Structure 1
Amino acid sequence: MQMTAGGIRVAVLTVSDTRTEVTDKGGPLVRELAQEAGMEITASVIVKDEPEAIRSAVAEWMTHEEVDIIITTGGTGIARRDVTIEAVRPMLNKELDGFGELFRFLSYEEIGTRAILSRALGGSIGDKAVFVLPGSPGAVRLAMEKLIIPEAEHITKELTKHRQPRT
């Protein structure tokens, strides 16, 4: 079943101390699935597992009109260096608790009790949606296909419906 979220503009942030453009699997999969759904990729970058680098990339994209959704991948584990959720959560205006809950529920169906290690976060900053995903291709595919793509248009519409027209 081909889902579409046409016209949605996405920025993709890979967070990793070890991944490069050549070895990153999560970021390219986010881009591929988003494009297959009719979304436009407007930015993509890799940063280290450093809170300031993560916040800086997200904050930069918050100022870009051509970004509707920011999707991060990586840095969500429980190791000391996994800080993406801790870096992004304080930036959110509103958190979509159901995103993380559903992500873990669906993960449990696929990987069993290892899902307790699955940290994922969804929310909004201003009129932009933000999703923080683990870096594994399986987690990216699950989040994109079962949660983000099916709801992207609705979420974007809700976040922008009170936007003031430009004068």
Structure 2
Amino acid sequence: MHESADEHKSSNKPTSGPVICLAVLTVSDTRTKETDKSGRRILELAGKAGIEAAEYTLCTDDAEAIHSIIAGWLLKPGIDAIVTTGGTGIAQRDVTLEAARPLFEKEIDGFGELFRYLSFAEDIGTKAVLSRAAAGTAREKAIFVLPGSTGAVTLAMNRIILPEIRHILHELTKHR
């Protein structure tokens, strides 16, 4: 039985449906858990939306370390989605996307496009072209690769991820 558009939209409310568990990875050569405002902001916004934190860690801008952490989380059954913050710019040390993208089974192209559009319109103007924010799916999990600024993660969480996470996860698991 297919649900109507209104039923589907109402099922995307933060308090409905099964609990979602999120893993958060902050990529930075300088931040610690005490100074990581962006990682904490993701956890705060997720918590307010009824999403539980399954994992939270930091690592340096090292492609192998980033890849290894995400790959490990993809194997954990208690994690539904992964959000990374940091390492998405164009500097030589920005390697988060290169580390995460090979793990994608499918890329969600619209995520990066919409994020850059919203960033341009609401926040940073033409500097938005430098953002390599992206999203994809793997092993029935959603993966979001975000810039490291607190403003960027707030924008992505409030305007894209939180409104759509239940729908994304439903689409990834509806075949079960």
TM normalised by structure 2 equals 0.89
Of 69, 88, 108, 2:100 maps to 88
Letter in 1 for 2:174: K
Alpha-carbon contact 1:5-1:150 (below 8 Å) kept: no
Residue of structure 1 equivalent to 2:22: 10
Percent of pairs with identical residues: 57
Alpha-carbon contact 1:75-1:81 (below 8 Å) kept: yes
1:138 aligns with 2:144: no
1:20 aligns with 2:32: yes
Of 44, 58, 65, 2:56 maps to 44
Please report how far the alpha carbon of residue 4 of structure 1 lies from its aligned counterpart in structure 2 after TM superposition: 1.7
Letter in 2 for 1:49: D
1:106 aligns with 2:118: yes
1:83-133, Cα deviation, whole Å (9 max, x unpaired) = 000111111000000000000000001211111112201010120000000
Following the alignment from structure 1 to structure 2, what is the Cα–Cα distance between the partners of residues 47 and 111?
A: 26
Alpha-carbon contact 1:122-1:131 (below 8 Å) kept: yes
Segments of 4+ in structure 1 off by > 6 A? none
Structure 1 residues 76 and 5, CA gap change in structure 2 (3 angstroms): farther
Following the alignment from structure 1 to structure 2, what is the Cα–Cα distance between the partners of residues 43 and 102?
A: 27
Residue of structure 1 equivalent to 2:72: 60
Please report how far the alpha carbon of residue 8 of structure 1 lies from its aligned counterpart in structure 2 after TM superposition: 1.0
Which consecutive unaligned segments of at least 5 residues does structure 2 have? 1-12
Alpha-carbon contact 1:107-1:118 (below 8 Å) kept: no
TM normalised by structure 1 equals 0.93
| Two-structure CA RMSD over aligned residues (Å) | 1.1
Following the alignment from structure 1 to structure 2, what is the Cα–Cα distance between the partners of residues 157 and 126?
A: 13
Letter in 2 for 1:4: P
1:11-67, Cα deviation, whole Å (9 max, x unpaired) = 000001111111111100000000001000010000111011001110111111110
1:152 aligns with 2:152: no
Letter in 2 for 1:85: L
SS across alignment from 2:144: strand
Letter in 2 for 1:116: V
